Structure 1
């Protein structure tokens, strides 16, 4: 199962690191603006935030595999192998793996809430619910074209702003800008995944945003999200340090992916775009955060 979680779902594990990396960078800049520095940030809180992010990512991977598998959505899958759909694992085993990962996230989140603020418990409950009901439950919102909205909110804004908050206990403008950039690229991963799956999702009755928009407009949406991530770099730099503009280097990874998408690639031809976009998200975070940390 460990091998499967590394690349089979729309969001990859490298991308799950990005919100925490970006959050640490913004938190360092905020600490510096108060006359402090990196030493003012708690390594324990940063580590716990990372555990929450990774555990939620693994949990949503398994949860989506389970829910799509039992619905038959993956019966004619184009992308990488799915456990339930391929018969490689039983639905019960995959469901247990999902809830084990959610449990790890909950424990780490509980400790974070005790260290920072108890209102984070509400955020944690909503995050787990969003992860499960993306494809789970009687009316999964991922089947209604709302997946991108929730990914932007929870894997972008909530993940980045939450990381910044637990480290500096404030919500600076740069945190929202960074959350927007990370959220845009997180959405782009899902958009590319759903673009690839338009034919099979249409047959399965899965009305994703890509199915609703159609092929051409979905490709345009992918490029728009990459452009939004670039604008977000500028916004972070304007509210912290202009060294953060180095973050625009993520376009070296995202640019080729845009060319593939605009070039009309379909089916298996879009699979590399998922990995490239996940890498672009992590590169975005690193190239923004590292200069901010070094500038403290």
Structure 2
């Protein structure tokens, strides 16, 4: 019976063997949360001076590697603590359903961190060694998100910390390595992106609410309950879009940034999906729409900055 349940889950999730097992281990739907902040920070820098392509690529790959490694630490420690089983719903399952040895997942995560550190050395040599300190702190929090004796993911602070490091910090570093400066405007502009990255984590926790509750986690989704968490998710979406309007009025962003509103159908579908469903499997599309919101919103925001560079509009 358990074998059948496992097979049913793999069929429902369209999980296939071969190289796709390793692709799922990376949790590709989360990797755009690493790309978007680097893209936006770099596009903000282009408004000041031409970008250094080598630094952009190094920052991009380092950010993606750290995110992928964080996902693997998550996979490993959720398995070790018994949170993930072969019947768990979600993209995580390389260990419990696909049979990848846990130590191999852990070793791969550490190796990704190592490669990211080498890229960081290149960035530091070209810019400032202060970047090394910030990078090491970010990597430490990536590990501590699910690793260590008191995992951040098991607390109500997961969304805030993830949004801060993956949104604000990465945007700030991406801007700094191009301009060797940082401004309050860059930090302020990073806030909507940080909010939407936090929303991805909240969406994941809404899906896993019941299982997390049984395992003693204290996430925001558990504290708010399903209905309250969905309402809060909607508030996060609304705040991100509202901030764009306010930033345009304040002159922090160009009028071109209104194109981010083209992404609005995605958060609408996410909220509807969470509001109308309660089982983890049924909520998977809503999770996908939440991740797509961050991706499309972020890419459009970055494009709006590029458009302002190419076709400046001032009032």
Both proteins in one fold, TM over 0.5: yes
Instruction: Select which of 46, 50, 55 maps to 1:28.
Output: 46
The reply on whether 1:267 has 2:280 as its aligned counterpart is: yes
Distance 2:278 2:188 in 1: 31
Deviation, 1:279, is 1.8
1:279 counterpart SS class: helix
Distance 1:123 1:214 in 2: 35
Equivalent runs, 1:177-196 vs 2, <5 Å: 177-196=188-207
Distance 1:149 1:85 in 2: 29
Distance 1:122 1:287 in 2: 31
CA RMSD of aligned residues (A): 1.9
Instruction: Select which of 23, 27, 32 maps to 1:14.
Output: 32
Equivalent runs, 1:1-296 vs 2, <5 Å: 1-7=21-27, 12-29=30-47, 31=48, 36=49, 40-75=50-85, 76-86=87-97, 88-237=99-248, 238-296=251-309
Say whether the 8 Å CA contact 2:26–2:71 is kept in structure 1: no
Say whether the 8 Å CA contact 1:196–1:270 is kept in structure 2: yes
Say whether the 8 Å CA contact 2:25–2:92 is kept in structure 1: no
> Is the radius of gyration larger for structure 1 or structure 2?
2
Say whether the 8 Å CA contact 1:110–1:121 is kept in structure 2: yes
Distance 1:100 1:6 in 2: 13
Distance 1:245 1:177 in 2: 17
Residue segments in structure 1 that go unaligned for 5+ positions in a row:
none
Say whether the 8 Å CA contact 1:48–1:108 is kept in structure 2: yes
In 2 relative to 1, CA 273–143 (structure 1 residues): closer, same or farther, beyond 3 Å?
Answer: same
Q: Which moved more, 1:87-96 or 1:77-86?
A: 77-86
Deviation, 1:118, is 1.1
Distance 1:235 1:163 in 2: 24
Number of positions where the alignment pairs a residue of Structure 1 with one of Structure 2: 286
Say whether the 8 Å CA contact 1:177–1:235 is kept in structure 2: no
TM-score by length of 1: 0.90
1:271 counterpart SS class: helix
Distance 1:155 1:216 in 2: 27
1:166-190 CA-partner distances (Å, limit 9, x unpaired): 1122223442233211111111111
In 2 relative to 1, CA 95–27 (structure 1 residues): closer, same or farther, beyond 3 Å?
Answer: same
TM-score by length of 2: 0.85
Distance 2:131 2:204 in 1: 31
Residue segments in structure 2 that go unaligned for 5+ positions in a row:
1-20, 310-315
Higher relative contact order (CA 8 A, sep 6+): 1
